[in-house]
Amino acid sequence: MRHLRNHKGKKALQRIKNQVTDIPSHAEQDKTIFDLVLKSLYENANKTALHLEGEIFIPHNVKLNQKDSDRVWNILTSSGWVIPSVGFGNAGKLELTKAGYQFMIQFGSYKQYLDTVESQLKQQQTIVVPISIQEDSTIDKPIEISKGKG
């Protein structure tokens, strides 16, 4: 029996090692979190501010380590759309700025904004055509002046 259990453990370990996990890049993770935070703040506009981890991350099963959480906080607060709440008991809380409300009214979500920007960039792509300038053969030739009769 002991031999069989050891073999099962090795098989389970091998399955775990071979299992491919899809870990999103920081950029994709940030886009998703930014979208989640903006939507949560906009949809809960009746509240002045929401606690980032307690009222946004936990209900949506977002789990970040402290380093990533600090990085996301810095990105959010430097965006201009979200500001940290000030005052006693407001540590870790965020609120939308006026620009954030206007942004959400205009686009509805951060992902929609990114899609709009991307489609505008595709429309604005310019085609560069090389321009060739032909030399004028008369410029380099000396001009001959002939004296006429008289």
> What residues does each domain of the chain span?
23-123
**Contact indicator for 92, 12 with CB cutoff of 8 Å:** no
Give pLDDT tens digits along the chain (150 positions): 555 555 666 666 566 555 544 456 778 888 888 999 999 999 988 888 999 999 998 888 888 888 888 988 998 999 999 999 888 888 889 999 999 999 999 998 889 988 888 888 877 766 666 666 666 555 556 656 666 555
Say which residues have a Cβ less than 8 Å from residue 55's Cβ, sequence separation at least 6.
40, 44
Distance CA 95, CA 104 (A): 13
Say which residues have a Cβ less than 8 Å from residue 57's Cβ, sequence separation at least 6.
63, 64
Q: Which of 56, 67, 65 is nearest to 93 (CA)?
A: 56
Distance CA 72, CA 56 (A): 13
Phi then psi for residue 50, to 5 deg, are -125, 145
The domain 23-123 is classified under which CATH number: 1.10.10, 3.10.450, 1.10.3470, 2.60.40? 1.10.10
Confidence (pTM): 0.63
